[in-house]
Amino acid sequence: MTTVFIISAPSGSGKSTLVEQLMRQVPRLRFSVSYTTRQPRGKEADGVDYFFVSREEFEARIVKDEFLEYAEVFGNYYGTHVSDLDRAGREGVDLVLDIDVQGARQLRQKLKTRIPGPVSIFILAPSRQILEERLRARNQDSEPVIQRRLNEAAEEIRNYPEYDYVLVNREVAASVDTLVSIVKATRNRRDRMDAEVRRILETFGNG
Ligand code: 5GP
């Protein structure tokens, strides 16, 4: 039974590092590699961080209804391929989606009758100042882009009530522990345990 873990965070909140460590520490989790029309950054590789495609290709895939959800973020398309969920189900793993607030909304709507439902986690930095320091430290964006990301962060954070869990990323190790705990606790939710409990009950026979 596959649980979809939706993880959203404003840019610079430390989400990538946390998700990377979560994947390393917890077995039977698969990271969903999204499609995007943005250009690769730094050491990003096609098929590993994203599937990098042209706008034309992305739009053709929209028409063919290939995305479980998609959104336009900072002028580029991002989307989760519909086959990811089926594949995770076949492989018996849980799926981790690093998607934005709009995508999270679409997915909750789409998966609302599914059992188990998706579990969503919102990650944020402890303050605007710390977010600004982190954005500068990663040396990736120009000054106008940093200012835009800071303004957009406030907007994104206001959506936190839509999420099941909220994680303030003060310190990496502690935040990873919290993420791991959320995944482990979810795996023991009653709706995920039904089949196993039934099997245990069968060992008692009819009496
Ligand atoms: P970045 O360009 O920094 O890798 O990602 C920008 C934003 O796009 C992040 O908020 C990230 O969560 C979001 N994003 C990445 N993949 C997807 C996706 O498949 N769907 C949606 N809706 N958002 C995505």
Query: How far apart are alpha carbons 23 and 50 in whole angstroms?
Result: 16
Whether residue 80 lies inside any domain: the answer is no
Q: What are the φ and ψ backbone dihedral angles of 53, each rounded to 5 degrees? A: -130, 165
Considering its fold, how many domains does the chain have in total?
1
Record the pTM: 0.95
Q: Ligand 1 centroid to 59 CA: how many Å?
A: 17
Whether residue 62 lies inside any domain: the answer is no
pLDDT of residue 110: 94
- Pocket mutation for ligand 1, best pick of 11, 37, 73 (most atoms within 8 Å of C-beta): 73
Strand partners, 168: 124
What is the CATH number for 195?
3.40.50.300
Whether residue 25 lies inside any domain: the answer is yes
Q: Which residues line ligand 1 (CB under 6 A)?
A: 8, 11, 34, 38, 69-71, 73, 78-80, 98-100, 102-103
Whether residue 24 lies inside any domain: the answer is yes
Query: How far apart are alpha carbons 175 and 206 in whole angstroms?
Result: 46
Whether residue 110 lies inside any domain: the answer is yes
- CB burial readout 86-116, b (16+ within 10 A) else e: eebeeeeebbbbbbbbbbbbbbbeebeeeeb
pLDDT of residue 207: 62
Pick the range with the lowest mean pLDDT from 69-78, 133-142, 175-184: 133-142
- Pocket mutation for ligand 1, best pick of 32, 37, 66, 78 (most atoms within 8 Å of C-beta): 78
> What is the C-alpha R_g of the chain?
18
Q: Ligand 1 centroid to 195 CA: how many Å?
A: 34
Owning domain of residue 144: 4-31+93-202
* Helical ranges in the chain per DSSP H: 15-25, 55-63, 83-91, 101-110, 128-137, 143-157, 172-187, 190-202
Whether residue 60 lies inside any domain: the answer is no
In ligand 1, which atom is closest to the CA atom of 156?
Answer: 10
Whether residue 172 lies inside any domain: the answer is yes
Q: What would the pLDDT profile of 124-174 be if each residue is shown by its tens digit?
A: 999 999 999 999 998 888 899 899 999 999 999 999 999 999 999 999 999
Whether residue 130 lies inside any domain: the answer is yes
Query: How far apart are alpha carbons 186 and 65 in whole angstroms?
Result: 30
| DSSP 8-state code for residue 160 | G
Q: Is the dihedral of CA 26, 134, 130, 105 positive or negative?
A: negative
